[in-house]
Amino acid sequence: MTKLIVLIVIILGVIAIAQLVRMYELSSKLRNRREEDIPNRDNRLNATLLLVFMLAFFASVIYLFVEYGYTGRGEAASVHGASTDWLMDLNLWIVIGVFFLTNALLFGFAFKYVRKPGVKAYWFPHDNRLELVWTVVPAIVLAVIIILGLRSWNEQTDESPDEAIRIELFSKQFDWTVRMSGDDNTLGYFDYKLTNENNPMALLTTKTIQDAIDSMEYSSTGIHALEAKLNNPHLIFIPEDHDLMVKDLARKERMVRMLYQLKARHNSALDARAMDDIVFNANDTLFLCKGQDYEFNFRSKDVIHSALMPHFRSQMNTVPGQTTRFKFIPTITTAEMRVKMNNPKFNYILMCNKICGSSHYKMKLMVVVLDKPAYKKWYAKVSKFDPKAADVCKTFRNIYAVGKPKAVVADSITVAAGTSVDTAAMATK
Footprint on residues 341-380 left by Cu ion (CB under 5 A): 352, 356, 363
In the bound state with Cu ion, the residue whose beta carbon lies nearer, of 82 and 349, is: 349
In the bound state with Cu ion, the residue whose beta carbon lies nearer, of 209 and 365, is: 365
Q: How far apart are CA 386 and CA 382, in angstroms?
A: 8
Q: How far apart are CA 4 and CA 7, in angstroms?
A: 5
Is residue 80 close enough to count as binding Cu ion by CB under 5 A? Answer: no
Kindly state the smallest distance separating residue 190's Cβ from Cu ion, in Å: 19
In the bound state with Cu ion, the residue whose beta carbon lies nearer, of 187 and 352, is: 352
Are 347 and 367 in contact by the 8 Å Cβ rule? The answer is yes
Strand partners, 307: 316, 352
Q: Report DSSP state, residue 299.
A: E
Counted residue by residue, the chain has a size of 429
Beta strands (DSSP E) in 301-420 are: 305-309, 314-318, 324-328, 348-352, 364-370
Q: Report DSSP state, residue 29.
A: H
Kindly state the smallest distance separating residue 142's Cβ from Cu ion, in Å: 32
Are 212 and 259 in contact by the 8 Å Cβ rule? The answer is yes
In the bound state with Cu ion, the residue whose beta carbon lies nearer, of 180 and 352, is: 352
Kindly state the smallest distance separating residue 395's Cβ from Cu ion, in Å: 24
Are 313 and 84 in contact by the 8 Å Cβ rule? The answer is yes
Phi and psi dihedrals of 406, rounded to 5?
-65, -40
- H-run or E-run covering 142: helix 128-157
Q: What is the DSSP string of 160-223?
A: PPTTSEEEEEEEETTEEEEEE-TTTT-PPPB-GGG-BTTBTT-B--HHHHHHHHHHHHHSTTSH
Are 173 and 357 in contact by the 8 Å Cβ rule? The answer is yes
In the bound state with Cu ion, the residue whose beta carbon lies nearer, of 231 and 358, is: 358
Pick one of 266, 305, 327, 397: the residue that binds Cu ion (CB under 5 A): 305
Cis peptide bond upstream of 326, omega within 30: no
Phi and psi dihedrals of 350, rounded to 5?
-120, 125
In the bound state with Cu ion, the residue whose beta carbon lies nearer, of 46 and 281, is: 281
Name the segment binding Cu ion (CB under 5 A); options: 135-143, 235-243, 301-309, 386-394: 301-309
Kindly state the smallest distance separating residue 179's Cβ from Cu ion, in Å: 17
Kindly state the smallest distance separating residue 365's Cβ from Cu ion, in Å: 11
In the bound state with Cu ion, the residue whose beta carbon lies nearer, of 223 and 308, is: 308
In the bound state with Cu ion, the residue whose beta carbon lies nearer, of 226 and 286, is: 286
Kindly state the number of chain residues that form the binding site for Cu ion, as judged by CB under 5 A: 4
Is residue 311 close enough to count as binding Cu ion by CB under 5 A? Answer: no
Kindly state the smallest distance separating residue 274's Cβ from Cu ion, in Å: 25
Kindly state the smallest distance separating residue 320's Cβ from Cu ion, in Å: 12
In the bound state with Cu ion, the residue whose beta carbon lies nearer, of 324 and 383, is: 324
Kindly state the smallest distance separating residue 296's Cβ from Cu ion, in Å: 16
User: What are the percentages of helix, strand and coil residues in the chain, rounded to 5?
Assistant: 55, 15, 30
Kindly state the smallest distance separating residue 310's Cβ from Cu ion, in Å: 15
In the bound state with Cu ion, the residue whose beta carbon lies nearer, of 266 and 305, is: 305
Q: Strand, coil or helix: what is 197?
A: coil
Q: How far apart are CA 166 and CA 296, in angstroms?
A: 6
Are 329 and 79 in contact by the 8 Å Cβ rule? The answer is yes
Is residue 307 close enough to count as binding Cu ion by CB under 5 A? Answer: no
Kindly state the smallest distance separating residue 25's Cβ from Cu ion, in Å: 59
Q: How far is C-alpha 369 from the geometric centre of its chain's CA atoms?
A: 19
Q: Footprint of Cu ion on this chain (CB under 5 A)?
A: 305, 352, 356, 363
